[in-house]
Structure 1
Amino acid sequence: MKSVMRLVAAVLLAAAVALPASANIVRDGSFELGDGAWELTEGWFLGDAGRGAHSGVNSLSTGCLGPGFSCFATQVLPTTTGQRYDLSFWLYADGVIGPDGFPIFQFDNGVRVMFGDALATAIYNFPTTNTSTDILTGGPSTQVIVRNLLATSTSTILQLSGYHDPSGIFFDDVSVELAVSQIPEPGTLSLVGMALGCLGLCRWRRARAT
């Protein structure tokens, strides 16, 4: 009986280790706190610009001139060496789309995101979603997702850079979480269920014997 209990305990422990919690490791990814979590070079604006926010009222925007990436927003993330992560953020670019669906104003812009030493994504001439005739009105943001980014150390620098001539491009709700590909499949959950069932059966037999 004791050997069975030890086996069940070992299975439960292994399953618990294989089920890591997935949570956003980016601090103030929604930019609502403004607590200094992000290090910004000149040319960035964190706050309420009246547009570019996917949730809340604040966003992070840059009006740096291109075509190179010379303005940066960075944050050091606590990561696990060898672990893979999924990155997502919401993006909005200034511009105007007419009632016919064609851009009236479409400006040169670019976005580059680095995850440590690796290029996560680079986007050029991101289309605006603003259907107002006022360039400062803004429209809905678009989510960008990059999967399976590899962490090579216990701390990884997330670097956002961008340019927009002559107005702005906006980030909001930046998230880095455990990669979906590394979250255990239902088979692991079944293993946990079997272990719990075995534990319950052992307890029932012991109670019956007494």
Structure 2
Amino acid sequence: MKKILVFAVAALVAGAAFAATYTDNSGNAAYSDGWQDADNGGSGFQAWDITTTGTAGAFIGSSVQGGIDLGVSSFALYANSGAGANVDAVRLFATDLGDLTAFSITLGMNWDSGISGQFKGFEVFDGTQVVFGLNMSDSATISYYGLSSGTWSSNYGTTPFTVAFAYDDAANTMTVTGTEREFGNPVTQINLSSVTADPTGIKLYSNEMSTDTGDNRQLYFDDLSVTYETAPVPEPATMSLLGLGALAMVLRRKMSK
């Protein structure tokens, strides 16, 4: 009986779920010649889809020029003042690595847009709607929107800040955590319910920033991380071995009677 239990435990271990985390950052080799549409520096994501209109674009550079320090380099978006200037950098999550459970990113936002009604930000979407996003327009406030709305950060600041979410597809919930950009203090956890579809990707965007302050209005970001969970099925050879072992124990017990 004890041996049969051992086989059962082995079966449970063989079918246990495990998580794997994948990262990407501006220093990866894929961006050694700059950051262009269709680049992909991380195996946990699909390639970047970058679209621009007007005087706008995406690049790898030092965030220090924008008054923020994200390290040696960072991803950056610019959209100069002028009708229709806009840049969107969209990236889908991988579809063959298991169930998405977590994501995080570091953002740098210094000055506001300087133009009424214009903005920059970041969002997570599920293909049909925005699940969670952050937006900074022409004031110091960074707001969050999507399935819930409110204020993420109220004051100006140059501290890089993190945004992270943990997703439970079985419960249809997502928890969002991170830090604010004035002092880097933790923000109050945001709990999202009724997340009825899996998040499929992210978008970073910038729209018509005033150019009167150099690069201080540009959006900077780096250090993307995504986690997937898989529950592998035991290999056929393992299942056969377990079955034969169990059969042998049954026969042995019958013969001993």
TM-score with structure 2 setting the length: 0.47
Q: Name structure 2 gaps, 5 residues minimum.
A: 31-38, 41-47, 137-141, 143-154, 170-195, 211-216, 232-257
Quote how far apart the aligned CAs of 1:92 are.
Answer: 0.8
8 A contact 1:94–1:128 mirrored in 2: yes
2:42 matches 1:47: no
Show the counterpart of 2:157: 129
Task: Report the Cα offset of residue 90 of structure 1.
Answer: 0.8
1:64 correspondence with 2:74: no
Alignment length, in residue pairs?
155
Counterpart pick for 2:130 among 109, 116, 119: 119
Q: 1:170 and 1:149, CA in 2 relative to 1: closer, same or farther beyond 3 A?
A: farther
User: How far 1:48 moved relative to its partner?
Assistant: 1.9
- AA of the residue aligned to 1:142: F
* Residues 1:32 and 2:27 aligned together: yes
**Structure 1 or 2: larger helix share?**
1
Please report how far the alpha carbon of residue 113 of structure 1 lies from its aligned counterpart in structure 2 after TM superposition.
1.8
Shift in CA distance, 31/120, structure 1 to aligned 2, threshold 3 Å: farther
Give the whole-Å Cα distance in 1 for the aligned partners of 2:20 and 2:88: 27
CA distance in 2, matches of 1:174, 1:73: 13
1:171 to 217, 221, 241: 221
**Cα distance in 2 between the residues matched to 1:148 and 1:160:** 18
Secondary structure of 2:13's match? helix
Query: What is the DSSP-based 3-state SS (H/G/I as helix, E as strand, rest coil) of the residue aligned with 1:63?
Result: strand
Which structure 1 residue ranges, 5 or more long, are not aligned?
A: 96-104, 131-139, 184-210
State the Cα distance separating 1:5 from its structure 2 match. Answer: 3.2
CA deviation profile, 1:181-204 (whole Å, cap 9, x unmatched): x99xxxxxxxxxxxxxxxxxxxxx
> What are the residue-to-residue correspondences of 1:130-169 with 2, within 5 Å?
130=158, 140-148=159-167, 150=169, 157-163=200-206, 165-166=209-210, 167-169=217-219
TM-score (structure 1 length as normaliser): 0.56
How many angstroms apart in 1 are the aligned matches of 2:201 and 2:77? 16
SS in 2 for 1:32: coil
Relative contact order (alpha carbons < 8 A, sep ≥ 6): 1 or 2 greater?
Answer: 1
Q: Distance in 1 between matches of 2:132 and 2:91?
A: 17
Contact 1:87/1:146 (<8 A) preserved: yes
Q: Write the distance in 1 (CA, Å) between the matches of 2:122 and 2:8.
A: 45
Distance in 2, Cα, partners of 1:171 & 1:45: 11
Identical counterparts, % of pairs? 16
